[in-house]
Amino acid sequence: MRPSSSPSDGLLSGLSGNPEVDAELDDPALLRALLDAEAALARAGADAGLVPAPAADAIVTACHPGRYDPAALGRAADAAGNPVVPLVREVTAAVPAPARPWVHLGATSQDILDTALSLLAVRALDALRRHLDAAVDAAARLADTHRDTVLVARTLGQQAAPTTFGLKAAGWLTGLAQARDRLRQAGDGQPAQLGGAVGTLAALGPAGPDVAARFAAHLGLPASALPWHTRRQPRLDLAAALGGLLAATGKVALDVGLLAQTEVGEVTEGGDGRGGSSAMPHKRNPVDAILIGAAARRGPGLVATLFAAAVQEHERAAGGWHAEWEPLRDLLHLTGGVTARSARLLTGLRVDPARMRANLDATGGRVLAEAVAARLAPAVGRDVAHDLVARAAAAPTFRAALLADPQIRAHLSGAEIDEALDPDRWLGSAGRFVDAALAAARGAAS
């Protein structure tokens, strides 16, 4: 058996992550990002005339991930509290002696690690968005296909009134599309960090701001107007967007899991051979919905950690920024997993309109009680209408009780009662809402 080589190869981590996203989050990826930051710093210094070009070239050449061992750097990080210190020591040793004074010029460890985590997030989000786009497209197809497929809505755990599966899917679509928009904005706002020891860039002299701008440009990251060592809003924006995406996918998963219950049976997950039980041969568990829901439940704690860590002292924090590293990677790992699973779940979802109709009809028309009361209210008043219809709903047969009640029949004919009991007539603006959700999602994608 081959050893595990990435987060998604683990016994458990593969159930919460996605290989494409995790490949941008593992230790080799972080090492690559750290070295990319050091190389960009050397290039920026050369551009500004502070670093000799031959020295910058030597540093860039030395910033090749294959030269360094992430595990060894991790062990060495214990002495300084972060992996940048031993990495800079090794990069310095790897370049010719004339280039050594220019390694890590003007930077502090936090500059390199903050910038590397911005790179890590941006790269992971590139892979994540492909799956999120697929999930949004699949939700849109469900909403469009089932625009007029009637099912019963549930409120407070009980059957309530008719709606459409298209509107339910449109709700999923809107949540996913809004989360995608927020994530795009937050991802695009992850800046480079370059402030030096206390945020003044004193070691770079008057060229400091120019070097910082060039540093960000070489990395393809936005520049910051000033260092953000203890001003963590970019990370909070990203944490909130990732948490929102986990909530949006968790909503889809929860609905699917409930709709797939044996007693409901209105949808099933696709995928032959998935969802088996070790004990019960007949089981077909909604495993994607289950695993998405599990990840969504882990998200709030990670988001809370990042927000708690954001209140940081003075110019550089003692522990606050350190507390962000692993929760941020964990959040990216979880969102990578849920987007891929949501895309698969929604693309393969099997919808049973006949079962939806049967469940709606199971209460003998009681889910249309609101519709009957609405027709009766103009004649007898809202409260009286409500009480008359509630009394009929408590009878063994709802329609028969309506037809037998003289107070109701004084104002509603049998034909009018039957019209009120037609679920297709009590869908309100469901279709228009579906159309609006589809138009908004298509507009955002264009």
pLDDT at 275: 58
Answer yes or no: are the C-beta atoms of 410 and 375 closer than 8 Å.
Answer: no
pLDDT at 307: 98
Percent of the chain with pLDDT over 70: 95
Distance CA 148, CA 163 (A): 9
Q: Looking at this protein, which amino acid is placed at residue 127?
A: A
Task: Write down the CATH number for the domain with range 109-193+228-362+429-446.
Answer: 1.20.200.10
Distance CA 41, CA 281 (A): 59
Locus of tokens 């004990």:
279
The 10s digit of each residue's pLDDT in 182-220 is 999 999 999 999 999 999 999 999 999 999 999 999 999
Distance CA 109, CA 104 (A): 9
268, β-bridge pairs:
350
Tell me which H or E stretch contains 175. Answer: helix 165-188
Alpha-carbon torsion (93, 98, 99, 104), positive or negative? positive
pLDDT surpassing 70 at residue 316:
yes
Whether 277 is a known active-site residue: answer: yes
How do the domains of the chain map onto residue ranges? Answer: 19-107+207-227, 109-193+228-362+429-446, 366-420
pLDDT at 9: 65
pTM: 0.93
Answer yes or no: are the C-beta atoms of 308 and 235 closer than 8 Å.
Answer: no
> Helix 109-145 to helix 27-47 angle, to the nearest 10 degrees?
120
Q: Which of 214, 232, 316, 341 is catalytic?
A: 316
Distance CA 335, CA 331 (A): 6
Return the SS3 of 131.
helix
Q: Tell me the average pLDDT across 218-241.
A: 97
pLDDT at 285: 82
A 10 A CB-CB count for 78 gives 10
Answer yes or no: are the C-beta atoms of 275 and 257 closer than 8 Å.
Answer: no
Q: Tell me the average pLDDT across 403-422.
A: 96
Q: Which of 325, 170, 162, 350 is nearest to 232 (CA)?
A: 325
The residue that leads in pLDDT, 243 or 443, is 243
Domain 19-107+207-227 has CATH 1.20.1090.10: no
Q: Torsions phi, psi of 81, nearest 5?
A: 90, 0
Q: Which of 4, 29, 258, 259 is nearest to 126 (CA)?
A: 29
Whether 129 is a known active-site residue: answer: no
The 10s digit of each residue's pLDDT in 40-72 is 999 999 999 999 999 999 999 999 999 999 999
Give 390's Cβ-side CA count (13 Å radius).
6
- Number of residues in the chain: 446
Contacts of residue 341, Cβ cutoff 8 Å, sequence gap at least 6 = 18, 249, 288, 291, 292
Contacts of residue 128, Cβ cutoff 8 Å, sequence gap at least 6 = 18, 21, 183, 332, 335, 336, 339
The 10s digit of each residue's pLDDT in 139-161 is 999 999 999 999 999 999 999 99
Q: Looking at this protein, which amino acid is placed at residue 23?
A: A
DSSP 140: H
pLDDT surpassing 60 at residue 4:
no
Q: Which of 4, 5, 277, 413 is catalytic?
A: 277
